[in-house]
Structure 1
């Protein structure tokens, strides 16, 4: 004959009651730990590493910079406000649609407050302009000063807005350039007038190549997509930087 545990409603009720109390106590302890960690983070961890802190162009690039830049860029008013507070001036670019899939929406033309563009015309959606501003201020200029002993006066580029599909093919995915969500940076003109080019200096073992690799690595912490000569032959002569593509650093 199998042994049966005696049925005792009072004991069963007490066991269930204590189990509920244990669960509640566990939840309270968990929340206390979370609050304590948040309190410590607020006091000890720099703002650039905390995703709930406001984005500022003056903050160094941190673990949360890319997330905060993407989030701020989704709000046109907030995006422009951050750039304005950083001393960046810009002109609004009128909205327009071109062809089946090309359009400019929420685009600006950066005018002053960072290195010039060569050529000057480079319309960018606000989130791309914001990321470019952070990258130029917190990555490009410090790297140039440390490795090359001078600042960057111009960003040499192959274009931002272009009505085309990826790689200029007749079929396939639409390029981020078709909505001005990207820019292709080909080189950097220094204060003395010399140019460091991605095509000519990427493999340089000296300061010029070190500078290019440092700014590429820094771009990966700001932009959603950063493609360089390490990615494929199509990017042998420029950095593709965008804030609307798939997350990739190469």
Structure 2
């Protein structure tokens, strides 16, 4: 046994070194990425799985509601407004909601068609408006137009307003903007007044009157000036050429209650 162990040891010692090592798997070809130098402090990251991973995130959720829907009055507010118009003696009737197939933002959730703004003072255009717009028009007529007409020679009585249709889905006019914004008419927030009827037979059309020096100029100036107490936008003669023949009145909401009176 001793001689067999010694003989085995002698045979192992005489084998080449390569034969004494454990067999190794064949090496794979070198990958250039494995041998590329890494800058000091750099952190290796896995490549993006999809080329769209770097794209801007997509909007999530449903689209915002149209503007006309956001202006919809609560039941209590709408009822209170209609009650105020009734007490003032306005003539009006509710009509079905108004929308526009070509512009989702245009429309009125709870429109009223106004035929008479106060007793004995009809509106020629029978405009379709939001109730708040009609109420502003009624208060302006009662508190400012009627008293102003009474100060004219022979104290004529105001017997009507020449108005446009009220609701109209269109862009603003006369602003000169490269990218025009929607008009407040498209939400029922605006009314155009083209003239005033008096019982003495002499209507007062809205027109440029700078320096005329007559009672009609005084009345028109009073009407245009006082309108901004009831409306947040007043445009008329002197604002721009597009408003030389009418007063544009609207109740657009602005930050801080700011008003545009021109």
Higher relative helix content: 1
Match of residue 232 from structure 2: 224
RCO higher in structure (CA 8 A, sep ≥6): 1
How many equivalent pairs are there?
179
Normalised by the length of structure 1, the TM-score is 0.65
Deviations 1:103-151 (A, max 9, x none): 12222122333411123x3111100000000011111111001124111
The alpha-carbon deviation at position 88 of structure 1 amounts to 2.1
Which runs of 5 or more residues in structure 2 are unaligned? 1-72
1:160 aligns with 2:166: yes
Match of residue 243 from structure 1: 251
Name the CA distance, whole Å, in 2 between partners of 1:230 and 1:137. Answer: 25
Match of 1:209 among 209, 217, 225: 217
1:89 aligns with 2:91: yes
Name the CA distance, whole Å, in 2 between partners of 1:142 and 1:179. Answer: 30
Match of residue 109 from structure 1: 113
**Matches of residues 4-23 of structure 1 in structure 2 within 5 Å?**
none
Deviations 1:161-204 (A, max 9, x none): 11111118995210001112101111111113321111164652
Match of 1:126 among 121, 126, 131: 131
Q: Which runs of 4+ in 1 moved over 4 A?
A: 168-171, 200-203
Name the CA distance, whole Å, in 1 between partners of 2:212 and 2:236. Answer: 15
Decide which structure has the larger Cα Rg and report it. 2
Whether contact under 8 Å (2:208, 2:237) holds in the other structure is no
The alpha-carbon deviation at position 230 of structure 1 amounts to 2.2
Deviates more, 1:173-182 or 1:162-171: 162-171
Q: CA 1:197 to 1:231, structure 2 compared with 1: closer, same or farther past 3 Å?
A: same
Which runs of 5 or more residues in structure 1 are unaligned? 1-70
Whether contact under 8 Å (1:204, 1:210) holds in the other structure is no
